[in-house]
Every structure is written in structure tokens, then in C-alpha cells.
Amino acid sequence: MSVESPPRAAAPPPPARPSAGRRVAGRLLHWWRRLTAMRTAIVLLFLLALAAVPGSLLPQRSLSQNKVNAYFTDHPSLAPVLDRFYLFDVFSSPWFAAVYLLLFISLIGCVLPRALEHFRALRAAPPAAPRHLLRLPDSGDLVTPLPGPQALDVVEEELRVRRFRVVRREGELSAEKGYLKETGNLLFHLSLVALLLGLAGGKLWGYEGSILVTEGQGFCNSFQQYDTYSSGPLVQSGDLTPLCVDLEDFRAQYEENLTAASFTADIRYGAPGEDGRPTTIGVNGPLRVDGARVYTTGHGYSPTFSVTRPDGTAISDVSVPFLPTDQSTMASEGALKLPDFGAASDDQLALEGFFAPTGLVQNNILTSVDPRPLAPQVAIVIYQGYLGLDSGIPQSVYSLDASQIDRGRLTRVAAANLKVGESTTLPDGTTVAFTGYREFASLQLSHDPGQVWVLVSAISLLAGLLGMLLLRRERVFARVAADPGGGGTVLTLASLTRGSGESAPRFAALTDDLDDALAARVPAPHPEDRPRES
């Protein structure tokens, strides 16, 4: 297959009346050739790039569901239309997949025949010399007193030293080198196919789950446990790597100017029921075990509270994760819900608030000034009443259901800024104490069976690319004839080069070397034995 395929006839001129089957076959062949032409591949490649553009300009569900929601709120009439065209799920949309699959078929269709042809060429002899050597772009004559066959011997020897494959024929010689260039080209294109396969495999059999884990707690690899997860269509929940992880200690370190320097989590991991091995993971350093990888993707603080009723019943040190709203100061927000604490369903207790690892109170407003827990404080608002947790409508765990407050079923009973150890007393005598904090880590477990395959493909793609771009394919032809002007031989040389670099200087250097080699075989070299460029 050539780079530029001239428009081809769909099929040989049809006989008087081709059968319907023939015509369909001809049509299919025509479309197959169209699809597998290199030009089509390039157009498809361009389309793939173009198709990726909206994926980077519009919010994507795969990256941030929140941003997509915000877009829907900001553009209530436009967003549903865009959504109809999968513009918030570009990379998993049918049209993206269509381009990707067509490209894939096109690549296979054009690379396989080339690979076969190349395999045959590898074993075939270099082609015979063209009749008019001096018409090639790089060509010239050398005159030598050596007889013809001997002159060709010298040429052959010199070319073999340069790792050409040489074939002698009657009075002439053909040589070729640089098969690796074509090999590189094929390797590159086949790697591209392999890479696409690896990507697809990862999408089908891969999964990923995220969970927020407070120090002292843990999770096991099952979809029920994750806060959020996504999995490929061919993943069966029974296939999940049996792995449990416990978070023992989380540390965040900061530079003097409060740039985050490192986040590390000491964990224990092992099969369910096992005691587990300790290790430390952190930014850029995940745990890799049995095809599963565990990452720390974020962190934050879980303030702890103790609540004591006037009758002495108490809950102590319940911790609840507050989500950071500002990574530079780790100011965080969250809610604590205690549905079972009160005596009745309308006597539930909850608090919503703000946590500052290093708090500063100005005008009774708490702000955070440092991400490190130097002086933790909370600003909380406490509610009593009915939380609505059993109403069937899912609630965020990080905030209270505002509609319950609006409807008056949940009433605000107190508000306070508390330092560690401080407490506030509600009108009914219950005390709420801020007792301290723990750190939590957002952990993510990922499994992608395609990724090693993709890595290997990418490396061989790069190797093929280098071979294809840097090597050159070179053919050299030589023919001898008796010198009409004397008893010697005229040696006509020509070369054809494909690939990088200028061919003329290389050809001149080759001719000079050959001339020297010929001269070395002759007892007394003639001074006029210089190449005559045509």
C-alpha cells in the first residue's frame, strides 16, 4: 500500500450484467478500500482530535459531577440540549466511540497488508538496477583500470561493510539497506492498534472506588463500601481484588510559606480477615498490590464532639469528616447528625458548622489562617427536631436538609464558637463539647488491567517512531561497462534514498570512498579517477 493511493476503480470492468451479489461485494470492497486508505485514517485522526475539543471546554461528568450540575443551573435551557448529544460525557459517548472504532478498523486494514508485504520484501532480493542509472537523482561515473567483475567485487565489499544487502547480477549490482525504517513504521502503526486495544480493555474490565477514611478506620474493596465508584461493563463484583486497608495515621507537612510539602498515610493492608502489612503511601507513591492500586487523593479534618444529656446519657468523641472548602487554609464545613440520640423521632440532634485548623475570631466570625492544626476551633449551629433521614429522600452527609429547617421541623437551638475542650449548653440542658479532631484521607482504589499493555504499546510506539523518522532506506546500484576511451572500466553508480537528511552529500561521500577503495587495488592509480557527476 502506498502513502498516496490514486483513486482506484471499485472493481474490474463489470461483465455485461453482474449478479446482485457481485455488485454488493464490489461496493463493499470499494468502501473497505476507502476506509483503509491512509487519507481516511488521517481524516479520522483529525476527527478524533476535533471530537475531544468539547470534552475539554465543557464540564465532564467523568471529571466533576458538581461542575456539570453547576452548568445545568447556569444554563437551564441549553444544558439539556447539550446533554442529549452526550456533550457532558464526550469520552464515553457513542459518537466518540464511533470515530475511535472506525479509526481502529482503518488502521488494521491498512497496516496488516503492509506488514505482509514488508515480510515478503524482507526475504526478497533487492530489485534489479534500472536501465538508465544516470537518470536517478544521485548518480555518477567512476573510471578504473580494473576489469569489470573485479571493480564490482570492490563495490560489493565496500557496501557489505556498510551493512547493505547486496545482489550481484550479470555486469551489475543492487544493494539495499534500511529495512528497519519500514519495520519501525509498521511497529509504530501496530503499536497504535495495540494501544487502542489496551485502552478498551481497561475501560471494560477496570473499576475505581473512592472513600473517605478517618484515622483509625478502614475499608474493604467492595462496591457497597465506597462513597462513589465506577466500573466497566464487564466487571463482576465477585472479581474485585480481595483487599482491606486501614488508615492508621495521616500526616500533612508544610513549608514555611505554607506550601504543602508532603501528604503521607500510614496504612495496613491485606486480604479480609488478615492482620495486614504496614506501609506508607502518599502523593506520587501509591500502594500497588495484585493489580489494585491505592492512592491518597485528598485529606481533611474530622472534628470530634461529645454530647451529654442532662440525665447523664452521653455519646463521646464522635468524629465526623468536614470537607475542606479552601485547600490553602483547610477551612472545612460539615455536619453531625445524631438521629438516635434523643428519646423520640422529633427529638433528634444535629449540628452544622465550620472547622478551622488554626482559627481566628474577628467580630465573632471564625476564619482559618493556617492549614496546620495549631489552634483548632469550630463554629457550630445546633439544631433539634426531626432530621428527615428516614423520609426516603437521600441527604448529603455533609450538610443538613435545609427543607426540614424551612418547614420548622428542625429548629436552631444554639450557636457557638468552640476551642478544643470547650462546650456549650442547650436550653434543655444538653451539653455539646468540641473534644478535638482526627485527620481523614480520601482514598481511591483503582484497577486497570489494560494499563501495562498500554505502557508496553506506548514504548514500542515510540521505538517504532524513532526508527521510522531517523533511519533512512537506501538503494545503491552499480553497473560496469568497458571504457570506450581506454582499456579500463566505467563504473556507473546511482542511489535512491528515502527518509531524513540530504542524499547528495552522502552519495558524494560514498563515491569518494569507493574511488579510494578502487584506487587501492590498482598498482598505480590514475589521477583522473575522480567521479564525474552527471
Partner 1 sequence: MNPDSLAALSDSLFSITVALYSLAVVAFCAQLAFGRRPARTPELVAAGGGSAPAEPAPEGPAEDRRGRRWGVVAMGLTVLGVLAHGGVLVFRGLATDRLPWGNMYEFATATVLVAVVAYIVFALRAPALRHLGLFVLAPVVLALVLIGLFLYAQAGPLVAALRSYWLAIHVSTAIIGFGIFFVSGIASVMYLVRSRYEARLADGGAPESGIVSRLPAAAALDRVAHRTAVFGFPIWTFAVIAGAIWAEAAWGRFWGWDPKETWAFIAWVVYAAYLHARTTAGWRGRPAAWVNVVGLVVMIFNLLFVNMVSTGLHSYAGV
Instruction: Please report, as ranges, the residues that interact with ligand HEM according to CB under 6 A.
Output: 1, 3, 36, 38, 41, 45, 106-107, 110, 185, 189, 192, 468-469
Least distance to ligand HEM from the beta carbon of 9, Å? 20
Contact 308, 331 (CB under 8 A): no
Query: What's the DSSP call for residue 238?
Result: G
Residue 48 or 271 having the CB closest to partner 1 = 48
Residue 11 or 72 having the CB closest to partner 1 = 72
**238-259 as b/e, with b when 16 or more CB fall inside 10 Å?**
eebeebbbbbeebebeeeeeee
Q: Choose from ligand HEM, partner 1, none: what does 52 bind? Cβ within 5-8 Å by kind.
A: partner 1
Q: Choose from partner 1, ligand HEM, none: what does 174 bind? Cβ within 5-8 Å by kind.
A: none
Least distance to ligand HEM from the beta carbon of 182, Å? 8
Residue 1 or 519 having the CB closest to partner 1 = 1
Least distance to ligand HEM from the beta carbon of 180, Å? 13
Least distance to partner 1 from the beta carbon of 134, Å? 21
Least distance to ligand HEM from the beta carbon of 126, Å? 19
> For the chain, how many residues are written?
534
Residue 120 or 131 having the CB closest to ligand HEM = 120
* Residues at the interface with partner 1 (CB under 8 A): 3-4, 38-39, 42, 45-46, 48-49, 52-53, 55-57, 60, 62-63, 90-91, 199, 208, 255, 257, 259-263, 283-286, 293, 295, 297, 444, 446, 448, 451, 454-455, 458-459, 461-462, 465-466, 469, 500
Q: Choose from ligand HEM, partner 1, none: what does 446 bind? Cβ within 5-8 Å by kind.
A: partner 1
Residue 193 or 320 having the CB closest to partner 1 = 193
Contact 380, 412 (CB under 8 A): no
Residue 140, C-beta contacts closer than 8 angstroms, at least 6 positions apart:
134, 492, 493, 494, 507, 511, 531, 532, 533, 534
Least distance to ligand HEM from the beta carbon of 3, Å? 4
* 3-class DSSP state of 532: strand
Q: Choose from ligand HEM, partner 1, none: what does 257 bind? Cβ within 5-8 Å by kind.
A: partner 1
Radius of gyration of the chain (CA): 38
DSSP secondary structure string for all residues of 108-130:
HHHHHHHHHHHHHHHHSPPPPPP
Q: Return the half-sphere exposure (C-beta side, CA atoms, 13 A cut-off) of residue 368.
A: 26
Q: Choose from ligand HEM, partner 1, none: what does 382 bind? Cβ within 5-8 Å by kind.
A: none
Contact 443, 247 (CB under 8 A): yes
Q: Choose from ligand HEM, partner 1, none: what does 189 bind? Cβ within 5-8 Å by kind.
A: ligand HEM
What is the Cα–Cα distance from 210 to 445, expressed in whole angstroms? 6
Q: Return the half-sphere exposure (C-beta side, CA atoms, 13 A cut-off) of residue 91.
A: 15
Contact 230, 223 (CB under 8 A): no
Least distance to partner 1 from the beta carbon of 261, Å? 6
Residue 315 or 456 having the CB closest to partner 1 = 456
Q: Choose from partner 1, ligand HEM, none: what does 444 bind? Cβ within 5-8 Å by kind.
A: partner 1
Residue 371 or 531 having the CB closest to partner 1 = 371
Contact 148, 482 (CB under 8 A): yes
Q: Which strand (E) or helix (H) includes residue 94? A: helix 94-123
* 3-class DSSP state of 5: coil
Q: Is 108 exposed, middle or buried (0-12, 13-18, 19+ CB in 10 A)?
A: middle
Q: Choose from partner 1, ligand HEM, none: what does 107 bind? Cβ within 5-8 Å by kind.
A: ligand HEM
Residue 384 or 497 having the CB closest to partner 1 = 497
Q: What string of H, E and C letters represents the secondary structure of 171-191?
A: CEEEEEECHHHHHHHHHHHHH
Least distance to partner 1 from the beta carbon of 136, Å? 20
Least distance to partner 1 from the beta carbon of 211, Å? 13
Q: Choose from partner 1, ligand HEM, none: what does 1 bind? Cβ within 5-8 Å by kind.
A: ligand HEM
Least distance to partner 1 from the beta carbon of 73, Å? 18
Least distance to partner 1 from the beta carbon of 267, Å? 15
Alpha-helical segments (H) within 448-496: 451-470
Contact 138, 22 (CB under 8 A): no
CA 463 to chain centre: 18
Least distance to ligand HEM from the beta carbon of 200, Å? 16
Residue 160 or 498 having the CB closest to partner 1 = 498
Contact 338, 320 (CB under 8 A): no
Q: Choose from partner 1, ligand HEM, none: what does 156 bind? Cβ within 5-8 Å by kind.
A: none
Q: What are phi and psi of 164, to 5 degrees?
A: -85, 150
Contact 499, 178 (CB under 8 A): yes
Residue 184 or 303 having the CB closest to partner 1 = 184
> Degrees (nearest 5) of the Cα angle 411, 415, 419?
145
> Across-strand partners of 530?
none
Q: Choose from partner 1, ligand HEM, none: what does 291 bind? Cβ within 5-8 Å by kind.
A: none
Residue 42 or 161 having the CB closest to ligand HEM = 42
